[in-house]
Amino acid sequence: MSKFSRRWFVKKSVFAGVFSGISAKSFRASFGAEAPSERVRIGMIGVGNQGGPRNNMKYFLNNIEALCDVDANYLAESGDFLQEQAGRSATMTDDYRRLLDAKDLDAVVVTVPDQWHALMTIEACQAGKDVYCEKPLTLVIGEGRPMIDAARKHNRVVQTGSMQRSGLEFKLVTNLVLSGALGKVKEVNVTLPGPNWIDRAKEPVADSAPPSELDFDRWLGPAPLRPYNKNRVHYLFRFFWDYSGGQQTNFGAHHLDTAQWGLGMDDSGPLSVEGTAVFHPKGWYETPDRTVIQYKYANGVTMNCRQIPGIESKKQGTEFVCEKGSVFVWRGGVVASSPTASTCCGRRSTSRPTTC
What is the pLDDT tens value at each position of the chain, 356 positions in all? Answer: 333 333 333 334 333 333 333 344 444 444 444 566 689 999 999 999 999 999 999 999 999 999 999 999 999 999 999 999 999 999 999 999 999 999 999 999 999 999 999 999 999 999 999 999 999 999 999 999 999 999 999 999 999 988 899 999 999 999 999 999 999 999 999 999 999 999 999 999 999 999 999 999 999 999 999 999 999 999 999 999 999 999 999 999 999 999 999 999 999 999 999 999 999 999 999 999 999 999 999 999 999 999 999 999 999 999 999 999 999 999 999 999 877 767 767 653 333 344 44
Preceding omega of 113 cis (within 30 degrees of 0) = no
pLDDT value of residue 346: 63
Q: How many CB atoms lie within 10 A of CB 27?
A: 17
The beta-strand segments (E) located in the chain are 42-45, 64-68, 91-93, 107-110, 130-134, 158-161, 185-193, 272-278, 290-296, 302-308, 317-322, 325-330, 333-336, 354-355
Q: Over the range 128-147, which residues count as b (16 or more CB within 10 Å of their CB) and which as e? A: ebbbbbbbbbbbeeebeebb
3-state secondary structure of 296: strand
Residue type, 335: V
Q: Where are the alpha helices (DSSP H) in 203-335?
A: 216-220, 247-250, 252-262
Q: Which residues on neighbouring strands pair with residue 277, listed in sequence order?
A: 291
Structural domains in the chain, sorted by start: 6-161 (3.40.50.720), 165-195+246-355 (3.30.360.10)
Contacts of 140 (CB under 8 A, 6+ apart): none
pLDDT value of residue 106: 98
